[in-house]
Amino acid sequence: MCESYNICLDVGGTKVLGAIFNEKDEIIFRLKKRSKAGGEGALDVEKVIVDVVEEMIAESGIDRSKLNAVASCAPGVIDQDKGIVLFTPNLPWRNYDMGAAMRKKFGVPFYVGNDVNLGVLGEYHFGAARGYKNIVGFFVGTGLGGGLILNGSLYTGNQFKAAEYGHMILDPEGPLCNCGQRGCLEAFSSKMGMSSYIRQQVSRGRESMLAEAVQEGVFRSKKLKKALAAGDKVAWEAVDRSCHYLAVATGTMINTFSPDLILYGGGVIEAVGEIYLEKILSEVDRYCMPQIRSTVDLKIAELGDDSILYGDLAMIKGL
């Protein structure tokens, strides 16, 4: 039997993570690079993606002719059939034909889907959501995305546009979100939302270990963990605010779907997930009906950085 490999990518607002899977669905090589949203826009990020794939092939020593497929996520609204990124709030892509560009470059089938859809799909087939049938996923990273599995199938809605509940509006007069609306869950609870809050507090003369990290962008999740461990008051306030709005959103989704599981993933959760889960659990009962809440589990994703990569693999395999 001829050995073959799949390359799976997690493309986010700040990084591109790649992995090579063998036929046993095992990761045999991985690589992470910072993504670049400036410069030539879409082409700039595309170059990083291509560089990651080329470097992985070269450094792993796999035979390029045995490459079966490449799959990637993208944050935002994706036409999954055509491989077109219609809109992403945190990368410079609008109606970007990612599929055509990547098929031309690598000469193998290329698949692309929404990042959190794939993260939840990965956890459903390979991680913490195994055994559940109705799953609501919140992934907290640079932005904040949603993924939804109903009756054992990924629900993507009309033209693959469903589950963007990172952009449910919780306060119409709240902070501006990159999607153009005000008061979205993402504007409060993501790294962008927390970084904005920290910048605001620093501008008022308050001190924070994250002041420099958020000066022109967002903090790294590991730095947030260190700041919390050091008792950084502003950082704790940002997390409290993030968790409060996540608890409100969680209650809303519990009442709406009565899922088996609410799943939390993404870089922030990987770094400080136990803190998040504890705070959300302390509040969520206020925002949903007890009769529905009693049949819902709340858990942290267990695949960490690999959730989306395994979702890519599930997409390639048609799971």
Span 185-206, pLDDT tens digits: 999 999 999 999 999 999 999 9
Q: 243 and 174: one domain? A: yes
Tell me the average pLDDT across 64-88: 89
Instruction: Please give the pLDDT value at position 43.
Output: 59
Q: Which tokens is 82 given?
A: 């055509």
Distance, in Å, from the CA atom of 238 to the CA atom of 220, rounded to the nearest integer, reads 14
24 pLDDT more than 80: yes
pLDDT of residue 275: 98
What does the mean pLDDT of the chain come to?
92
Q: At residue 230, does pLDDT exceed 80?
A: yes
- Structural domain tally of the chain? 2
Residue 29 sits in a domain whose CATH number is 3.30.420.40
- In the chain, the percentage of residues whose pLDDT exceeds 70 is 95
Residues 153-189 have pLDDT tens digits of: 999 999 888 999 999 999 999 999 988 999 999 999 9
pLDDT at 39: 47
Q: Is residue 90 a contact partner of residue 143, using CB atoms and an 8 Å limit?
A: yes
Grade residue 13 by pLDDT with cuts at 50, 70 and 90.
low
Residues 256 and 162 in one domain: yes
Average pLDDT rounded to a whole number, residues 99-120? 91
- Is residue 9's pLDDT more than 70? yes
Which domain covers residue 56, as residue numbers? 5-115+307-317
**123 in a structural domain:** no
- Give the highest mean pLDDT range of 29-33, 123-127, 214-218: 123-127
239 and 279 in a single domain? The answer is: yes
Residue 316, pLDDT above cutoff 60: yes
- pTM for the whole structure: 0.90
pLDDT exceeds 60 at position 38: no
Predicted pLDDT at 2: 61
Backbone angles phi, psi at 305, to 5 degrees: -60, -20
Asked, for residue 120, whether it belongs to a domain, the answer is: no
The whole-angstrom separation of Cα 142 and Cα 269 is 12
For residues 277 and 132, state if they share a domain: yes
186 lies in the same domain as 271: yes
265 inside domain = yes
74 and 171, same domain (yes or no): no
Q: How far apart are CA 126 and CA 168, in angstroms?
A: 28
Quick one: 104 and 50 in the same domain?
yes
pLDDT-derived band at 37 (thresholds 50, 70, 90) equals low
Would you state the pLDDT for residue 11? Answer: 87
> Could you tell me if residue 153 is inside a domain?
yes
